[in-house]
Structure 1
């Protein structure tokens, strides 16, 4: 009965942690949908699609976790055989596939944000895009081989390592671009208001990145089994909590939207400095207004706005 008892403890622990993460996600989901439907937010249809998709993934994950607990309890009470225990392990196949598919959708939203911040240029997002796909592929491979007992192409920790590297790359590329434009903007604008505008954007991106990165690193590091199970249960919903939190901030008109909206005109060129034409012999102004043409693309991070 030791195998059944261990499986019961693992599944109950992960389900309990997952229930906590799911509750937080649902609160943010309801808030995000209310804000997007009641406010005239640019690109709200796209954001609603992503938000609803992540909510469906999270609900499915929780349902499968509960099903695993019910199956394990029945197995423990009835004194199931090792063959039945193996069948219970095979039940992990569906949650794992859904998890890595969910991670692909969540990362694609962050990748799209990075793409827009770089002025809709493809070269800067090629590497992060490859890492996003590699994370999903490694997760699928390790999941299949854990059930089929075939020699895996990747180590069991490979998906977590790929996920950590992907998260770091997306954060670095996004923050790096905002910092670069912030440096150019400070040559034109002088004052704490402009500086705080860009610093707020950078801080929020770092916070959302840490929200995903810290649990991943803790899972990779040697940790007690119970703590690892709790982290895995929470991580299932953290990949939805971080992007949904960003959607909430966009709906409120705070966070990166106010800053990043003004970045769309600064496309990735060989000379990215901000240029403001000034008529000859015109005396310098204490504060000039930077006008950036709004793109026709209806995106939440593509609408021109001055900080």
Structure 2
């Protein structure tokens, strides 16, 4: 073990932080697996192509979640092994090989997290695109966040594998991207929910409120991590726990959306069979072509089924 007490303290601090990271990853991975099971259960109930696509995405997300958990545990174990080797006074060559092994695990985990973040953002972008389908500004709304997602992915890879970048920069870029998507998505959903409430009553806006809550939760967690990263030591307890939780949250939030989509599609299928009559058959439905610009009615207040399908897509 290094004779310098400060070096010893630093080494134990790093090991402690990695242990917290692995524990947080295990805990949140359990939540992720529960949500994945629920998503599979509901998505398999519907036989549509869209449900199969969502099911495939769910499988990809849970694979990312499991691999990152394994890498967190392996990283903590590798660093512990390195410390034991230092205490035992092993050769410099052996210590260097252990250090390189730990560094490879850490970089693999960081690279996987960057990739995972891009995939989660693409799912978020897809929902944003669906919600803005009827808008003439759809291409701009989709294009700008898409460029930011790509830029964040590139900067993230560069910071891990090629150049030294201030560690918070990729996360700040990711937060800007998510904040933009948040504003575009929540703003549009809120408007559609308000119009649905005016047209069909308070109960009609419940789905919109639930969707907004899920999106806000995701961005709030990212914000908490960025704050903890920039105002405290990275080896402190809170950032270490959040570092282990963040990759899982990147999958938990989309899986929550998948579960919601699966439930919505299941009820929609039952409704189409006549077993769950949610709306009065005699009530007039406004078509998408009769948007506010042409019909004089509130924007987004077209067919309740159509409006809900955009939120549940």
TM superposition score category, shorter chain reference: 0.7 to 0.9
Per the TM alignment, residue 275 of structure 1 is displaced from its structure 2 partner at its CA by: 5.0
Task: Report what 2:129 is aligned to.
Answer: 115
1:46-73 CA distances to partner (integer Å, 9 max, x unpaired)?
1112111111111111122222222222
- Between Structure 1 and Structure 2, which shows a larger proportion of helix residues? 2
Cα distance, 1:303–1:135 mapped onto 2, change above 3 Å = closer
> 1:260-299 alignment to 2 at 5 Å?
273=292, 275-276=294-295, 290-291=302-303
- Asked if the contact 1:167–1:213 (Cα under 8 Å) also holds between the matched residues in 2, the reply is no
- Asked if the contact 2:25–2:244 (Cα under 8 Å) also holds between the matched residues in 1, the reply is yes
Per the normalisation by structure 2, the TM-score is: 0.75
Give unmatched runs, 5+ long, in structure 1: 258-264, 279-288
Task: Report what 2:56 is aligned to.
Answer: 49
2:96 is aligned with 1:83:
yes
1:138-161 CA distances to partner (integer Å, 9 max, x unpaired)?
21111114xxxx5x3x42111111
Task: Report what 1:159 is aligned to.
Answer: 170
Per the normalisation by structure 1, the TM-score is: 0.76
The number of residue pairs the alignment matches comes to 272
> 1:1-307 alignment to 2 at 5 Å?
1=1, 2=8, 4-40=11-47, 43-79=50-86, 81=92, 83-84=96-97, 86-87=99-100, 88-119=102-133, 121-145=138-162, 150=163, 152=164, 154-185=165-196, 189=199, 191-222=201-232, 225-253=236-264, 273=292, 275-276=294-295, 290-291=302-303, 301=310
Q: 2:305, 2:184 → 1: CA distance?
A: 24
Q: 2:181, 2:57 → 1: CA distance?
A: 18
Cα distance, 1:252–1:41 mapped onto 2, change above 3 Å = farther
User: RMSD of aligned C-alpha atoms?
Assistant: 3.3
Q: 2:312, 2:66 → 1: CA distance?
A: 32
Q: 2:104, 2:186 → 1: CA distance?
A: 41
Give unmatched runs, 5+ long, in structure 2: 2-7, 269-286
